[in-house]
Structure formats: C-alpha cells, structure tokens
C-alpha cells in the first residue's frame, strides 16, 4: 500500500511537470511575441532537467556504513562513517541522506546528525561522519540509509531506501568491584575466606573427556597425541567457590544501576575464576549454570546489553532454572524490591543454598521508605543478609557481606 501511494505521488508530480511544459508552450504560441517565447525558453531547461531526474535510476546508488566504535559501553560514544556511491554520472543539485534507526528514541539522541545535505554535482562518491554521545544501554538497530533528491523548484522529489542493517550493542557500564569470595569449601567443612583458588592445577588426579568451556591449559596433550581425542585433566579440588548471581528483572527506577552491578560482579567473579552461575528473571530469562569460558562470559554480557525490564512485576525463577540450580551455592540477589514473596520463590526453587545475600540498589540520595524498610526487616527475620547500596557504593558491595 505504501509503495503504491509513493508511485501515485511520483506520477502526479510528473504529470504536473507536463502540465507546466504544455502551459508554457501554449502561452508562447497564442500570446506570441519575444517576451512569451523568452519565458518558455527560460523555463524549458528546468523542465527538461526535472524530467531527466524523474527517470534517473536511484537503484544505481549504493551506501556503505562503517561503525568506527565497534564496542560501546553505557554512556559511551558511537562514531559512524557513511559513504554514498553511484555508477552513473548525472548532475544532482542536492541530496539529503538519513541514517535510519529502528527506534525513534535513538534517532532523537543524534540531534539531527544522522541526516546530512550533500551538494552532489557530478561526483561519484560522497562521505560524512556523525557521532552520538551518551549512548543508552541496549540493542540499537540501524536499518539503512534513506536518500532524497529534488530538482531546483521541488517539482520532482524522489526517495529511495537502501537496506543496510547493522546492530550496535551498547554494553552495561562496568564498575570496579572489590570482589571477596563469600564461601570457600575446603576438603572438609565450609568457612569464609578472602582467598579463592578453584582448582589446584599443580596436582592432576586423572583425565576425562573434553567438555565445552574447559580451559585450553587443562587439555591433556599427550593423550591427544596418542588417541586424537581431546581429553581434559582433572585436578584435586582443594578449594572451590560456587556463586550464583540472580538479577531481578522487574521494573524499577534503578534498573540500569541493577544491570551495572550484575555485570560488574559477573566480570570480577569470572576474573577470580569463581565457580559462577548467572540467572536473570522475567520475560527474557537467562540461565548460565557455569561461566567457565570467555564465550560464556560474553554471552552473559550480551544478554545484559539487550535486557529490558520485565512486564510482569511478580515474575520469579522458572522451573527450568530451578532444576539447573539444585546443586546449591551462595546466592547474590540484585534487586530494588526485596519483598519476601519474591525472595522465597528463589529460595524454594534454588535448593541447598549455603548463603543468601540480597543487594538492594537505591537511587543516589534516595531515602528508604516505610514499605522498603518493612521488606528488609521481614527478609532479615528469615535469615537473609540484606545490604542497601547506591551506585557510588558498588566498589564496596562485598565489604559488609557476611557468611550466614
């Protein structure tokens, strides 16, 4: 329907052009005299140019986009370069090119920089750059480049959309978090310790089949040379750390801060080689029972980049997530609403929990209202460690976290 309307508009403009030409010619014929023919011959070049522009094939114009900042973090800068090329030389008065975003809200951030006016002339190629400051977290889709041509008087206007889909992921902001393992299992018993050594890699006790996510340094190369089958060394578990980070995806005023804290903890715990699991609740659930490789860590960060608040304000942990987390461990819940019903749904599903800590994120200079204080009190009565913190306190998120 839209294409048919565009064709109809274009034909009406061309018909208007024919009417102007015929009217000018008839005026000169019947009026006669030097002035009448002068008017006709003065307007004739403009009409001929407009007619030629009408038949000019816009399909011969191509565009190329280069994202000069392939990795963008929340609040960072996106830099884009666009070039427009054409195969046929034809004098173009001007061209307006617009880089189209799928989300109109993202286009507003450009402050009109994604649109550019070219005096094309006879050139075959033109280029322009633009930047967007303070990019919001999320998946931003660039659909293509729209070009618009016009003649001198606007009699003929032509538009053409060049599909050029690209996706820009803006990752969540990462804060420096002073990570301290909450639990450390020795060969016997459990105790709190600031140390974290997942495996004693100096003492191999056997080999097993290679599994996706195993570190390259753990591969038993001698066995591979004999059997051409990848095998992984097994080490003595002197100390291990099992930490499950749960991000509450319910809508809140500090949802971006919650995502930032979750990403920061996952990055820091992974760097300390913790036995790390990551879960998000809500409509766009993610379950990663063990983050053991850079690929799994990247997958978690991509999910956090795309994550949006869930429309369901009561959504907890799914049954599938619960079945994968029955092995237990220390759980850190990142939320802005620590109501007991939500916490209880996680505790009932996770099972075999050694410790449960609720990090409640507040707005900067935000006060704890009576409802929040009551939720915290009830959670503490059930043995849950609750700590409230603002964005500035993220580096010390583990400072006051204690083992239950």
The reported pLDDT for the residue numbered 274 is: 66
Does residue 237 carry a pLDDT above 80? no
Dist CA 130 CA 123 (whole Å): 21
In terms of CATH architecture, what is 184-198+240-396?
Answer: 3-Layer(aba) Sandwich (3.40)
Residue 93 DSSP SS3:
coil
Close Cβ partners of 178 (under 8 Å, ≥ 6 residues apart): 395, 396, 397, 398, 399
Does residue 64 carry a pLDDT above 90? yes
The reported pLDDT for the residue numbered 319 is: 55
Residue 189 DSSP SS3:
coil
In the chain, the percentage of residues whose pLDDT exceeds 70 is 81
Does residue 325 carry a pLDDT above 60? no
Strand partners, 65: 82
- Where is 144: in which H helix or E strand? strand 138-150
Please indicate whether residue 330 or residue 260 has the higher confidence score (pLDDT).
260
Please indicate whether residue 210 or residue 72 has the higher confidence score (pLDDT).
72
- Where is 360: in which H helix or E strand? strand 353-361
Q: Where are the domains of the chain?
A: 2-45, 60-171, 184-198+240-396, 200-236
The reported pLDDT for the residue numbered 186 is: 35
Mean pLDDT of 258-287: 83
Mean pLDDT of 220-225: 76
Dist CA 142 CA 252 (whole Å): 28
Please, how many CA atoms are within 13 Å of residue 201, restricted to the half-sphere of its CB?
10
The reported pLDDT for the residue numbered 324 is: 52
pLDDT tens digits, 175-196: 888 877 665 433 333 333 333 3
The reported pLDDT for the residue numbered 195 is: 30
Q: What is the tally of helices (H) and strands (E) in the chain?
A: 9, 18
Does residue 65 carry a pLDDT above 90? yes
Please indicate whether residue 250 or residue 325 has the higher confidence score (pLDDT).
250
Asked if 219 and 232 touch (Cβ cutoff 8 Å), the reply is: yes
Dist CA 208 CA 264 (whole Å): 33
Dist CA 399 CA 179 (whole Å): 9
The reported pLDDT for the residue numbered 63 is: 93
Please indicate whether residue 284 or residue 115 has the higher confidence score (pLDDT).
115
Among 195-199, 203-207, 227-231, 397-401, the range scoring the smallest mean pLDDT is 195-199
**CATH 2.60.40.10 describes domain 60-171:** yes
Residue with tokens 């639990």: 183
Residue 158 DSSP SS3:
strand
Q: Tokens at residue 262, please? A: 């979750």
Q: What is the DSSP code (8-state) at residue 391?
A: G
Among 157-161, 222-226, 279-283, 300-304, the range scoring the smallest mean pLDDT is 222-226
The reported pLDDT for the residue numbered 199 is: 47
The reported pLDDT for the residue numbered 400 is: 56
Dist CA 149 CA 47 (whole Å): 15
Which is it for the CA torsion 36, 39, 42, 48, positive or negative?
A: negative
pLDDT tens digits, 130-150: 998 889 998 999 999 999 998
Does residue 298 carry a pLDDT above 50? yes
Does residue 91 carry a pLDDT above 50? yes
The reported pLDDT for the residue numbered 75 is: 86
CA 347 from centre of chain: 30
pLDDT band of 79, cuts 50, 70, 90: very high
Among 5-14, 232-241, 253-262, the range scoring the smallest mean pLDDT is 232-241
The reported pLDDT for the residue numbered 313 is: 52
The mean of the pLDDT values for the chain is 80
Residue with tokens 């097993």: 208
Dist CA 203 CA 173 (whole Å): 38
Burial 370-402 (b: 16+ CB within 10 A, else e): eebeebbebbeeeebbbbbbebebbeebbeebe
In the chain, the percentage of residues whose pLDDT exceeds 90 is 19
Does residue 197 carry a pLDDT above 70? no
Mean pLDDT of 317-337: 69
The reported pLDDT for the residue numbered 145 is: 94
Does residue 365 carry a pLDDT above 50? yes
- The gap between the terminal CA atoms of the chain, to the nearest Å, is 65
Question: Does this chain's domain 60-171 share its CATH topology with 184-198+240-396?
Answer: no
Does residue 401 carry a pLDDT above 70? no
Residue 143 DSSP SS3:
strand
Asked if 371 and 347 touch (Cβ cutoff 8 Å), the reply is: no
Beta strands in 210-241 (DSSP E): 231-236
Q: Are strands 61-67 and 78-86 parallel, antiparallel or unpaired?
A: antiparallel
Q: Tokens at residue 126, please? A: 């033109």
Question: Distances from the Cα of 386 to the Cαs of 64, 107, 224, 370, 396, in angstroms?
Answer: 52, 40, 49, 16, 14
Write the DSSP string, 20-36: HHHHHHHHHHHH-HHHH
Which is it for the CA torsion 321, 325, 326, 330, positive or negative?
A: negative
């Amino acid at each position: 329907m839209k294409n048919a309307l565009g064709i109809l508009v274009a034909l009406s403009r061309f018909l208007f052009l024919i009417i102007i030409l015929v009217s000018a010619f008839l005026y000169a014929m019947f009026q006669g005299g030097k002035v009448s023919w002068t008017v006709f011959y003065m307007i004739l070049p403009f009409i001929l140019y407009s007619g030629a522009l009408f038949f000019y094939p816009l399909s011969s114009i191509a565009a190329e986009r280069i994202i000069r900042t392939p990795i963008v973090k929340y609040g960072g800068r996106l830099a884009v370069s666009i070039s427009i090329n054409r195969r046929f030389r034809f004098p173009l008065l001007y061209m307006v090119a617009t880089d189209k975003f799928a989300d109109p809200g993202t286009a507003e951030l450009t402050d009109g920089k994604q649109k550019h006016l070219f005096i094309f002339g006879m050139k075959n190629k033109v280029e322009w750059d633009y930047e967007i400051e303070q990019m919001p977290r999320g998946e931003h889709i660039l659909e293509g480049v729209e070009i618009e041509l016009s003649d001198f008087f606007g009699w003929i206007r032509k538009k053409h959309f060049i599909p050029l889909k690209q996706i820009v992921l803006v990752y969540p902001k990462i804060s420096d978090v002073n990570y301290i393992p909450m639990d450390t299992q020795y060969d016997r018993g459990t105790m709190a310790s600031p140390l974290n050594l997942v495996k004693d890699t100096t003492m191999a006790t056997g080999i097993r089949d290679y599994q996706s996510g195993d570190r390259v340094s753990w591969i038993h190369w001698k066995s591979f040379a004999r059997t051409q089958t990848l095998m992984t060394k097994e080490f003595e578990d002197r100390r291990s750390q099992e930490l499950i980070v749960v991000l509450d995806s319910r809508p809140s005023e500090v949802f971006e801060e919650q995502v930032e804290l979750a990403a920061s903890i996952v990055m820091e715990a992974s760097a300390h080689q913790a036995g790390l699991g990551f879960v998000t609740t809500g409509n766009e659930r993610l379950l990663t029972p063990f983050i053991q490789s850079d690929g799994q860590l990247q997958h978690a960060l991509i999910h956090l980049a795309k994550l949006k608040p869930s429309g369901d304000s009561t959504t907890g942990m799914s049954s599938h997530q619960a079945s994968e987390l029955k092995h237990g461990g220390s759980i850190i819940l990142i939320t802005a609403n620590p109501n007991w019903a939500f916490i209880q749904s996680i505790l009932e599903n996770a099972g075999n929990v050694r410790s449960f800590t609720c990090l409640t994120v507040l707005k900067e200079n935000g006060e704890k209202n009576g409802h929040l204080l009551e939720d915290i009190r009830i959670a503490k009565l059930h043995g849950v460690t609750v700590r409230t913190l603002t964005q500035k306190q993220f580096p010390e998120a583990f400072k006051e976290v204690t083992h239950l």
